[in-house]
Structure 1
Amino acid sequence: MNLKEIEIFLQVAQTGSLTQAAHRLDMSPMSVSRRLAALEASLGVRLLHRTTRAVSLTPEGAEFMPYARTILEAEQSARVLFSSERQGAGGQLRVTAPSGLGQRILVPLIPTLLAENPEMKVDLQLSDEVVDIVAQGFDVAIRVAPLRDSNLIARKIADNPRVLCAAPAYLQRHGRPNRLADLARFTCLRLSNVLQWTFCNDGQTTGISIDGRFSCSSVEGVRTLCKAGLGLAQLTHWDIREELRRGELVALELQDVQPQALAVWALFPSHRYLPLRVGVFLDALMKAMR
């Protein structure tokens, strides 16, 4: 197995195109194709489906991808380790995170992270969609939703319970809900993909269907209208931490249910080697969320 062939495979898998990968690597598409064929021959399996329009991973290619990244990252880290000009972590850090949390917590970390690690690059993808981090080549995913069973390694970053909240002006006009059933009498602002608000009762989760006059695909939109006094919202602690501190929003407690306990998690592919850049990023994130 050749390291250059592995690098080519990863670029093609990431771009889904021989031409784009060739452009990134400053090679011809024909050379890229030949080197891929050589890698497949050495492994004895087909790693990629090739058509005239696109390239996609075979099941064997998807299985090989985390190992390929580990091999390449280990080689790069070894070079950095013995470099006389070593200064911090290096390489490209690829992170996917929810848009609300990403804007609030991750983006402010980037300037210091880049300043302290001159050889590092950061590709931060903010999306509320759950992506396949192995297939798409991410180093780490930041998640808030309850974790599903998977082959990914999870590390808890911080507690992040759900919070029922409203602006003081709204509460002055409409009063406060006391029990779960009371929510039906209030205007509720919800995220577009959240049809139920979830709480806990005696250790079990319980939900109530929400059908308000406003829904939004982003946390920012719901938070803004909640601050403006248009209704109740259920967001997470880190979504509204600053608004609670400044008194712009008030956390509400119901007598018959408790907030659902969530957490911020970091997920990364299940392999033993963790690149230095990932460790540096996670340390900075945990420090920011203490």
Structure 2
Amino acid sequence: MDLRDVQLFLIITETRSLTQAARRLDVSPMAVSRRLASLERQLNTRLVQRTTRSVSLTQEGAEFLPYARALLEAEEGARALFDPKVKGVTGLLRVTAPSGFGQRHILPLVPRLLAENPAMRIDLQLSEAVVDIVGGGFDVAIRIAPLRDSGLVARKIADNPRVLCASPAWLRDHGTPKTLADLADHHCLRLTSVLQWTFDLDGQPTSISVDGRFSASSVESVRSLCVQGLGIAQLTLWDIKQELQEGSLVAISLADVQPQNLPIQALLPTTRYLPLRVSHFIDSLKASLA
């Protein structure tokens, strides 16, 4: 397989146009079409649907995409291995993560990663949305949520139990709930998208609807209002670990249920030809949370 044709395929997926790909490579559209057809013959499958105005990936093209990126990264890594001027891992690392977790636990890693790896670049996208990591060209997605069935590969980074919490002032003024039923007597601060709070009951998940006077789309907003004493929240350990250590929030245990674990996981398009920069990032994040 000619890696130049693989690179051409990646450029086509980025530009969504044979003409734009030809301009970027300074060749004719006909040459682009011929090289793409050659790659498809080698793989014995159609990678791209062509129209007069644009192109789109076939299902097989979408499945080949992470492998194509990995092939070029492997070549780049092999060249860097024997280049005395290159130190550490190389290439562009593209990461997507929830905003609250990313701000607190990924951004602090970036200065050291860049300092130790001068040939490495990082593109960090923080969002609460569940993005298509294959179509978006991401190397890794950090998830703190129940995982849907997919062809992605999950690697556990750390345990992350859900935690009921409140400020000392709220508990002093309103009492500490002892059971699930007691939560009805408290203002519950929740994420807008989370209509129920989930716990473990005899090893099985159980959920209750919660109500309160405030909800927000971000963990940061719920955490801030909870610290200010406006009610009880259910967040995860790594969302509030700093506040628990400082004493601005207190963890609440209920007698009739246990916390549900919501592990922090790294989702990968594939583990074949995994670029060194990806495994280095995952190892660094895991070590920082240990």
TM-score (norm. length: structure 2):
0.91
Counting only pairs closer than 5 Å after superposition, residues 143-162 of structure 1 correspond to structure 2 as 143-162=143-162
Aligned counterparts of 1:20 and 1:168: Cα–Cα separation in 2: 60
Aligned counterparts of 1:252 and 1:242: Cα–Cα separation in 2: 16
Q: Calculate percent identity across the aligned residue pairs.
A: 63
Match of 1:9 in 2: 9
Q: Which amino acid aligns with 1:163?
A: V
Q: Deviations over 1:235-287 (max 9, x none)?
A: 00000010111111111111111111121111212242221101211121011
Match of 1:107 in 2: 107
Match of 1:258 in 2: 258
Between stretches 273-282 and 101-110, larger displacement belongs to 273-282
Match of 1:163 in 2: 163
Counting only pairs closer than 5 Å after superposition, residues 80-229 of structure 1 correspond to structure 2 as 80-229=80-229
Aligned counterparts of 1:72 and 1:125: Cα–Cα separation in 2: 22
* Residues 252/49 of structure 1: CA separation in 2 closer, same or farther (3 Å cut): same
Cα deviation, residue 32, structure 1: 4.9
Aligned counterparts of 1:248 and 1:110: Cα–Cα separation in 2: 27
SS of the equivalent of 2:92 reads strand
SS of the equivalent of 1:96 reads strand
Q: Which amino acid aligns with 1:230?
A: L
Q: Which amino acid aligns with 2:161?
A: P
Counting only pairs closer than 5 Å after superposition, residues 22-41 of structure 1 correspond to structure 2 as 25=24, 27=26, 30=29, 32=32, 35-41=35-41
Cα deviation, residue 13, structure 1: 2.1
Match of 2:279 in 1: 279
* Residues 46/262 of structure 1: CA separation in 2 closer, same or farther (3 Å cut): same
CA contact (8 A) 2:200 2:260 kept: yes
Cα deviation, residue 42, structure 1: 4.2
Aligned counterparts of 2:123 and 2:50: Cα–Cα separation in 1: 27
Aligned counterparts of 1:55 and 1:152: Cα–Cα separation in 2: 25
SS of the equivalent of 1:136 reads coil
Aligned counterparts of 2:178 and 2:21: Cα–Cα separation in 1: 58
Q: Which amino acid aligns with 1:80?
A: A
Q: Deviations over 1:161-203 (max 9, x none)?
A: 0000011111122111111011112111111111110001111
Q: Which amino acid aligns with 1:6?
A: V
Aligned counterparts of 1:282 and 1:19: Cα–Cα separation in 2: 38
Between stretches 223-232 and 12-21, larger displacement belongs to 12-21
* Residues 205/84 of structure 1: CA separation in 2 closer, same or farther (3 Å cut): same
SS of the equivalent of 2:125 reads strand
Cα deviation, residue 50, structure 1: 3.9
CA contact (8 A) 1:14 1:137 kept: no
Match of 2:248 in 1: 248
Aligned counterparts of 1:162 and 1:182: Cα–Cα separation in 2: 18
* Residues 27/253 of structure 1: CA separation in 2 closer, same or farther (3 Å cut): farther
Give unmatched runs, 5+ long, in structure 1: none
Number of residue pairs aligned between Structure 1 and Structure 2: 289
Between stretches 28-37 and 127-136, larger displacement belongs to 28-37
SS of the equivalent of 1:11 reads helix
Q: Which amino acid aligns with 2:272?
A: R
Q: Which amino acid aligns with 1:83?
A: D
Aligned counterparts of 1:163 and 1:125: Cα–Cα separation in 2: 26
The alignment yields a C-alpha RMSD, in angstroms, of 2.1
Cα deviation, residue 136, structure 1: 2.1
Q: Which amino acid aligns with 1:173?
A: D
Cα deviation, residue 44, structure 1: 4.2
Between stretches 94-103 and 140-149, larger displacement belongs to 140-149
* Residues 87/231 of structure 1: CA separation in 2 closer, same or farther (3 Å cut): same
TM-score (norm. length: structure 1):
0.91
Cα deviation, residue 81, structure 1: 1.3
Between stretches 44-53 and 69-78, larger displacement belongs to 44-53
CA contact (8 A) 1:144 1:264 kept: yes
SS of the equivalent of 1:285 reads helix
Q: Which amino acid aligns with 2:233?
A: A
SS of the equivalent of 2:212 reads coil
